[in-house]
Amino acid sequence: MDKSEFYDFMLSVITDMERQGRYSTAHVYHCALKSAVKYGGHSLHMEDLTPGWLQSYQEYLLKQSLLWNTISTYMRMLRAVYNRAVDMGLAPYIPRQFKNVFTGRYANHQRALKKGEIKRVLLEDVVEEEADRSSESEPAASSDSRNLGWARACLELMLRFHGIPFIDLANLRKVDLRNGYLTIRRHKTGMPLSIAVDAAAMKLLRRYASNDPSSPYLLNILNGSLSGKEAYKDYQRALRMLNLQLYRLSRVCRLGKRLSSYAARHTWASIAKSCGIAVEVISEALGHASITTTEGYLKQFDNDEIEKANKVIINYIFKK
Protein backbone atom coordinates (compact mmCIF):
# COMPACT_ATOMS: atom_id res chain seq x y z
CA MET A 1 0.00 0.00 0.00
CA ASP A 2 1.33 3.39 -1.00
CA LYS A 3 0.71 5.50 2.09
CA SER A 4 1.26 8.69 0.08
CA GLU A 5 -1.95 7.94 -1.79
CA PHE A 6 -4.84 9.58 -0.02
CA TYR A 7 -7.29 6.73 -0.53
CA ASP A 8 -5.02 4.05 0.92
CA PHE A 9 -4.01 6.14 3.90
CA MET A 10 -7.55 7.22 4.82
CA LEU A 11 -8.79 3.67 4.41
CA SER A 12 -6.14 2.51 6.87
CA VAL A 13 -7.33 5.15 9.35
CA ILE A 14 -10.92 3.92 8.97
CA THR A 15 -9.83 0.31 9.49
CA ASP A 16 -8.02 1.27 12.70
CA MET A 17 -11.18 3.00 13.95
CA GLU A 18 -13.26 -0.10 13.30
CA ARG A 19 -10.74 -2.24 15.18
CA GLN A 20 -11.15 0.15 18.12
CA GLY A 21 -14.93 -0.23 17.96
CA ARG A 22 -15.46 3.37 16.78
CA TYR A 23 -17.96 2.33 14.14
CA SER A 24 -19.97 5.54 14.05
CA THR A 25 -16.87 7.70 13.50
CA ALA A 26 -15.53 5.23 10.95
CA HIS A 27 -18.81 5.46 9.04
CA VAL A 28 -18.58 9.27 8.81
CA TYR A 29 -14.93 9.05 7.66
CA HIS A 30 -15.91 6.49 5.03
CA CYS A 31 -18.62 8.81 3.65
CA ALA A 32 -16.05 11.61 3.44
CA LEU A 33 -13.59 9.28 1.70
CA LYS A 34 -16.12 8.18 -0.93
CA SER A 35 -17.01 11.81 -1.65
CA ALA A 36 -13.39 12.97 -1.97
CA VAL A 37 -12.44 10.04 -4.19
CA LYS A 38 -15.49 10.58 -6.38
CA TYR A 39 -14.18 14.08 -7.06
CA GLY A 40 -10.41 13.53 -7.04
CA GLY A 41 -10.09 9.89 -8.09
CA HIS A 42 -8.37 6.96 -6.40
CA SER A 43 -4.96 8.22 -7.52
CA LEU A 44 -5.30 11.36 -5.39
CA HIS A 45 -2.10 11.98 -3.40
CA MET A 46 -1.70 13.72 -0.06
CA GLU A 47 0.18 16.63 -1.56
CA ASP A 48 -2.73 17.23 -3.96
CA LEU A 49 -4.88 18.49 -1.07
CA THR A 50 -3.82 22.10 -1.54
CA PRO A 51 -5.98 25.11 -0.57
CA GLY A 52 -6.89 25.49 -4.23
CA TRP A 53 -7.95 21.85 -4.58
CA LEU A 54 -10.03 22.09 -1.41
CA GLN A 55 -11.82 25.21 -2.68
CA SER A 56 -12.60 23.47 -5.98
CA TYR A 57 -13.84 20.43 -4.07
CA GLN A 58 -16.13 22.64 -1.97
CA GLU A 59 -17.58 24.17 -5.13
CA TYR A 60 -18.19 20.65 -6.42
CA LEU A 61 -20.03 19.72 -3.21
CA LEU A 62 -22.18 22.85 -3.43
CA LYS A 63 -23.18 21.91 -6.97
CA GLN A 64 -24.26 18.53 -5.59
CA SER A 65 -26.74 20.46 -3.37
CA LEU A 66 -25.11 19.25 -0.17
CA LEU A 67 -25.91 21.09 3.04
CA TRP A 68 -23.22 23.28 4.59
CA ASN A 69 -23.02 21.03 7.64
CA THR A 70 -22.35 18.01 5.44
CA ILE A 71 -19.63 19.93 3.59
CA SER A 72 -18.11 20.97 6.92
CA THR A 73 -18.12 17.37 8.13
CA TYR A 74 -16.27 16.18 5.02
CA MET A 75 -13.72 18.97 5.29
CA ARG A 76 -13.07 18.30 8.98
CA MET A 77 -12.57 14.60 8.26
CA LEU A 78 -10.08 15.42 5.50
CA ARG A 79 -8.26 17.84 7.81
CA ALA A 80 -7.98 15.27 10.58
CA VAL A 81 -6.61 12.63 8.22
CA TYR A 82 -4.19 15.05 6.58
CA ASN A 83 -2.88 16.23 9.95
CA ARG A 84 -2.29 12.62 10.94
CA ALA A 85 -0.33 12.09 7.72
CA VAL A 86 1.75 15.22 8.48
CA ASP A 87 2.54 13.88 11.95
CA MET A 88 3.73 10.63 10.37
CA GLY A 89 5.90 12.44 7.83
CA LEU A 90 3.75 11.29 4.92
CA ALA A 91 2.49 14.71 3.82
CA PRO A 92 3.92 18.24 3.71
CA TYR A 93 2.72 20.80 6.24
CA ILE A 94 0.66 23.54 4.54
CA PRO A 95 -0.01 26.62 6.69
CA ARG A 96 -3.72 27.54 6.92
CA GLN A 97 -4.53 24.79 4.48
CA PHE A 98 -8.28 24.77 5.18
CA LYS A 99 -8.75 28.52 5.72
CA ASN A 100 -10.89 29.07 2.60
CA VAL A 101 -13.32 26.19 3.08
CA PHE A 102 -16.14 25.82 5.59
CA THR A 103 -15.29 23.77 8.68
CA GLY A 104 -17.74 25.33 11.11
CA ARG A 105 -21.30 24.50 12.02
CA TYR A 106 -24.44 25.98 10.57
CA ALA A 107 -27.02 25.67 13.32
CA ASN A 108 -30.56 25.13 12.09
CA HIS A 109 -32.91 26.59 14.70
CA GLN A 110 -35.88 25.30 12.70
CA ARG A 111 -35.27 21.91 14.31
CA ALA A 112 -36.58 23.28 17.61
CA LEU A 113 -40.29 22.93 18.29
CA LYS A 114 -42.42 25.63 19.85
CA LYS A 115 -44.70 24.83 22.80
CA GLY A 116 -47.81 24.57 20.62
CA GLU A 117 -46.02 22.28 18.17
CA ILE A 118 -44.86 20.01 20.98
CA LYS A 119 -48.45 19.60 22.16
CA ARG A 120 -49.63 18.79 18.64
CA VAL A 121 -46.94 16.20 18.12
CA LEU A 122 -47.28 14.52 21.50
CA LEU A 123 -50.96 14.93 22.34
CA GLU A 124 -52.94 15.21 19.10
CA ASP A 125 -54.89 12.08 18.15
CA VAL A 126 -53.17 10.37 15.24
CA VAL A 127 -54.63 7.41 13.40
CA GLU A 128 -52.08 5.05 11.91
CA GLU A 129 -54.17 4.59 8.75
CA GLU A 130 -54.11 8.33 8.13
CA ALA A 131 -50.36 8.32 8.51
CA ASP A 132 -50.13 5.47 6.03
CA ARG A 133 -52.13 7.46 3.47
CA SER A 134 -49.91 10.50 3.95
CA SER A 135 -46.83 8.43 3.22
CA GLU A 136 -48.00 6.56 0.12
CA SER A 137 -45.34 8.30 -1.95
CA GLU A 138 -42.60 7.56 0.59
CA PRO A 139 -40.33 4.48 0.72
CA ALA A 140 -42.12 1.58 2.36
CA ALA A 141 -41.40 1.06 6.04
CA SER A 142 -39.81 -2.19 7.15
CA SER A 143 -41.79 -4.89 8.90
CA ASP A 144 -40.53 -3.47 12.21
CA SER A 145 -43.47 -3.05 14.62
CA ARG A 146 -42.23 0.36 15.76
CA ASN A 147 -45.01 2.80 14.92
CA LEU A 148 -45.99 6.41 15.47
CA GLY A 149 -46.75 5.71 19.12
CA TRP A 150 -43.24 4.36 19.64
CA ALA A 151 -41.72 7.39 17.90
CA ARG A 152 -43.80 9.74 20.05
CA ALA A 153 -42.66 7.92 23.18
CA CYS A 154 -39.01 8.22 22.15
CA LEU A 155 -39.42 11.93 21.46
CA GLU A 156 -41.17 12.54 24.79
CA LEU A 157 -38.58 10.58 26.76
CA MET A 158 -35.73 12.49 25.10
CA LEU A 159 -37.46 15.76 26.00
CA ARG A 160 -38.05 14.66 29.60
CA PHE A 161 -34.45 13.45 29.92
CA HIS A 162 -32.65 16.78 29.28
CA GLY A 163 -32.93 16.42 25.50
CA ILE A 164 -30.59 13.42 25.41
CA PRO A 165 -29.72 12.12 21.92
CA PHE A 166 -31.39 8.96 20.66
CA ILE A 167 -28.15 7.00 20.96
CA ASP A 168 -28.11 7.65 24.71
CA LEU A 169 -31.80 6.75 25.03
CA ALA A 170 -31.33 3.51 23.07
CA ASN A 171 -28.30 2.53 25.16
CA LEU A 172 -29.96 3.05 28.55
CA ARG A 173 -29.23 -0.02 30.67
CA LYS A 174 -31.40 -1.62 33.31
CA VAL A 175 -28.72 -0.91 35.93
CA ASP A 176 -28.83 2.81 35.06
CA LEU A 177 -32.27 3.19 36.68
CA ARG A 178 -32.12 3.33 40.46
CA ASN A 179 -34.34 5.04 43.06
CA GLY A 180 -36.13 7.21 40.52
CA TYR A 181 -32.96 8.42 38.79
CA LEU A 182 -31.05 7.54 35.65
CA THR A 183 -27.29 7.70 36.14
CA ILE A 184 -25.54 7.52 32.79
CA ARG A 185 -22.57 8.74 30.79
CA ARG A 186 -23.01 10.45 27.43
CA HIS A 187 -22.11 8.13 24.58
CA LYS A 188 -20.30 10.90 22.70
CA THR A 189 -18.45 12.76 25.45
CA GLY A 190 -18.45 10.36 28.39
CA MET A 191 -19.82 13.15 30.59
CA PRO A 192 -21.90 11.92 33.55
CA LEU A 193 -25.61 12.74 33.77
CA SER A 194 -28.07 12.26 36.60
CA ILE A 195 -31.67 12.51 35.43
CA ALA A 196 -34.77 12.43 37.63
CA VAL A 197 -37.48 10.15 36.21
CA ASP A 198 -40.96 11.53 36.83
CA ALA A 199 -44.17 9.47 36.86
CA ALA A 200 -44.97 10.15 33.18
CA ALA A 201 -41.50 9.13 32.05
CA MET A 202 -41.59 6.01 34.24
CA LYS A 203 -44.87 5.00 32.64
CA LEU A 204 -43.30 5.25 29.18
CA LEU A 205 -40.21 3.34 30.29
CA ARG A 206 -42.39 0.49 31.53
CA ARG A 207 -44.55 0.48 28.41
CA TYR A 208 -41.55 0.20 26.08
CA ALA A 209 -39.28 -1.81 28.38
CA SER A 210 -37.15 -4.62 26.98
CA ASN A 211 -38.95 -7.94 27.38
CA ASP A 212 -35.71 -9.91 27.06
CA PRO A 213 -34.44 -10.84 30.54
CA SER A 214 -30.96 -11.48 29.15
CA SER A 215 -30.69 -8.03 27.51
CA PRO A 216 -28.79 -5.35 29.42
CA TYR A 217 -30.90 -2.63 27.81
CA LEU A 218 -33.72 -0.85 29.61
CA LEU A 219 -35.80 -0.23 26.48
CA ASN A 220 -36.83 -2.51 23.65
CA ILE A 221 -34.80 -0.65 21.02
CA LEU A 222 -31.52 -2.55 20.61
CA ASN A 223 -30.80 -6.26 20.36
CA GLY A 224 -28.88 -7.12 23.52
CA SER A 225 -27.31 -10.21 21.97
CA LEU A 226 -25.34 -8.27 19.35
CA SER A 227 -21.90 -6.73 19.70
CA GLY A 228 -19.28 -4.93 17.65
CA LYS A 229 -20.18 -3.86 14.13
CA GLU A 230 -23.45 -5.81 14.16
CA ALA A 231 -24.59 -3.85 17.23
CA TYR A 232 -23.74 -0.61 15.43
CA LYS A 233 -25.80 -1.68 12.40
CA ASP A 234 -28.69 -2.57 14.71
CA TYR A 235 -28.61 0.93 16.19
CA GLN A 236 -28.52 2.50 12.72
CA ARG A 237 -31.62 0.52 11.76
CA ALA A 238 -33.44 1.78 14.85
CA LEU A 239 -32.38 5.37 14.14
CA ARG A 240 -33.60 5.16 10.53
CA MET A 241 -36.94 3.79 11.71
CA LEU A 242 -37.30 6.57 14.29
CA ASN A 243 -36.58 9.29 11.73
CA LEU A 244 -39.01 7.71 9.26
CA GLN A 245 -41.79 7.60 11.83
CA LEU A 246 -41.06 11.14 13.05
CA TYR A 247 -41.22 12.36 9.45
CA ARG A 248 -44.60 10.67 9.04
CA LEU A 249 -45.73 12.22 12.32
CA SER A 250 -44.73 15.70 11.14
CA ARG A 251 -46.77 15.16 7.97
CA VAL A 252 -49.85 13.98 9.85
CA CYS A 253 -49.63 16.84 12.36
CA ARG A 254 -49.05 19.33 9.51
CA LEU A 255 -46.07 20.90 11.23
CA GLY A 256 -44.63 22.44 8.08
CA LYS A 257 -41.20 21.21 9.12
CA ARG A 258 -39.52 17.82 9.14
CA LEU A 259 -39.18 16.15 12.52
CA SER A 260 -36.05 14.16 13.24
CA SER A 261 -34.25 12.63 16.20
CA TYR A 262 -32.48 15.98 16.72
CA ALA A 263 -35.75 17.77 17.51
CA ALA A 264 -35.83 16.91 21.21
CA ARG A 265 -32.32 18.16 21.91
CA HIS A 266 -32.75 21.42 20.02
CA THR A 267 -36.18 21.98 21.56
CA TRP A 268 -34.97 21.41 25.11
CA ALA A 269 -32.00 23.77 24.63
CA SER A 270 -34.13 26.43 22.92
CA ILE A 271 -36.76 26.47 25.63
CA ALA A 272 -34.12 26.42 28.37
CA LYS A 273 -32.51 29.49 26.88
CA SER A 274 -35.82 31.31 26.41
CA CYS A 275 -36.68 30.58 30.07
CA GLY A 276 -33.53 32.37 31.16
CA ILE A 277 -31.72 29.27 32.44
CA ALA A 278 -27.99 29.90 32.83
CA VAL A 279 -25.75 28.58 30.07
CA GLU A 280 -23.69 26.71 32.68
CA VAL A 281 -26.80 24.79 33.76
CA ILE A 282 -27.83 24.07 30.16
CA SER A 283 -24.31 22.84 29.42
CA GLU A 284 -24.31 20.39 32.32
CA ALA A 285 -27.81 19.18 31.51
CA LEU A 286 -26.87 18.52 27.88
CA GLY A 287 -23.74 16.67 28.94
CA HIS A 288 -21.42 18.91 26.96
CA ALA A 289 -17.71 18.52 27.63
CA SER A 290 -17.24 22.29 27.88
CA ILE A 291 -19.34 25.43 28.13
CA THR A 292 -17.74 26.60 24.88
CA THR A 293 -19.57 23.79 23.09
CA THR A 294 -22.86 24.90 24.63
CA GLU A 295 -22.30 28.55 23.71
CA GLY A 296 -21.70 27.56 20.10
CA TYR A 297 -24.72 25.25 20.21
CA LEU A 298 -27.00 28.05 21.44
CA LYS A 299 -25.87 30.68 18.93
CA GLN A 300 -28.52 29.39 16.54
CA PHE A 301 -31.29 30.86 18.65
CA ASP A 302 -29.93 34.40 18.35
CA ASN A 303 -31.20 34.45 14.76
CA ASP A 304 -34.74 35.15 15.98
CA GLU A 305 -33.78 38.64 17.15
CA ILE A 306 -31.90 39.29 13.92
CA GLU A 307 -34.95 38.27 11.89
CA LYS A 308 -37.18 40.57 13.94
CA ALA A 309 -34.81 43.48 13.33
CA ASN A 310 -34.73 42.78 9.62
CA LYS A 311 -38.54 42.72 9.43
CA VAL A 312 -38.69 46.16 11.05
CA ILE A 313 -36.24 47.55 8.50
CA ILE A 314 -37.93 45.85 5.52
CA ASN A 315 -41.34 47.13 6.62
CA TYR A 316 -39.92 50.63 7.05
CA ILE A 317 -38.42 50.63 3.57
CA PHE A 318 -41.09 48.85 1.53
CA LYS A 319 -44.39 49.02 3.41
CA LYS A 320 -46.73 51.58 1.86
The 10s digit of each residue's pLDDT in 81-101 is 999 999 999 999 999 999 999
Are both 78 and 34 inside the same structural domain? Answer: yes
Are both 241 and 169 inside the same structural domain? Answer: yes
Q: Is residue 67 part of a domain?
A: yes
Are both 145 and 283 inside the same structural domain? Answer: yes
Are both 56 and 114 inside the same structural domain? Answer: no
* Structural domains of the chain, count: 2
Q: Is residue 288 part of a domain?
A: yes
Q: Is residue 49 part of a domain?
A: yes
The 10s digit of each residue's pLDDT in 262-304 is 899 888 888 888 888 888 888 888 888 788 777 766 765 555 6
pTM: 0.78
Q: Which residues contact 29 (CB under 8 A, 6 or more apart)?
A: 10, 13, 14, 17, 77, 81
Are both 117 and 153 inside the same structural domain? Answer: yes
User: Which of 30-39, 47-56, 121-130, 143-152 is predicted least confidently?
Assistant: 121-130
pLDDT at position 143 over 50: no
Q: Which of 35, 55, 87 is the last residue of a domain?
A: 87
Q: Is residue 119 part of a domain?
A: yes
Are both 183 and 248 inside the same structural domain? Answer: yes
Are both 59 and 116 inside the same structural domain? Answer: no
Are both 191 and 122 inside the same structural domain? Answer: yes
Q: What's the pLDDT band for 138 if we cut at 50, 70, 90?
A: very low
Are both 78 and 114 inside the same structural domain? Answer: no
Average pLDDT, the chain: 86
Q: Is residue 251 part of a domain?
A: yes
Q: Is residue 123 part of a domain?
A: yes
Q: Which of 87, 120, 142 is the last residue of a domain?
A: 87
Instruction: Over range 163-189, report the average pLDDT.
Output: 94
Instruction: Over range 141-167, report the average pLDDT.
Output: 85
Q: Is residue 319 part of a domain?
A: no
CATH of the domain at 215: 1.10.443.10
Are both 204 and 82 inside the same structural domain? Answer: no
pLDDT at position 107 over 70: no
- Identify which of 252, 259, 238 has the alpha carbon closest to the alpha carbon of residue 108: 259
pLDDT at position 314 over 70: no
Instruction: Over range 60-73, report the average pLDDT.
Output: 95
| Domain carrying residue 21 | 6-87
User: Which of 208-212, 257-261, 270-274 is predicted least confidently?
Assistant: 270-274
For residue 124, the model assigns a pLDDT of: 78
pLDDT at position 127 over 90: no
Q: Which of 52, 87, 122 is the last residue of a domain?
A: 87
User: Which of 245-259, 286-300, 306-320 is predicted least confidently?
Assistant: 306-320
Q: Is residue 102 part of a domain?
A: no
Instruction: Over range 179-192, report the average pLDDT.
Output: 90
Are both 120 and 175 inside the same structural domain? Answer: yes
Are both 140 and 232 inside the same structural domain? Answer: yes
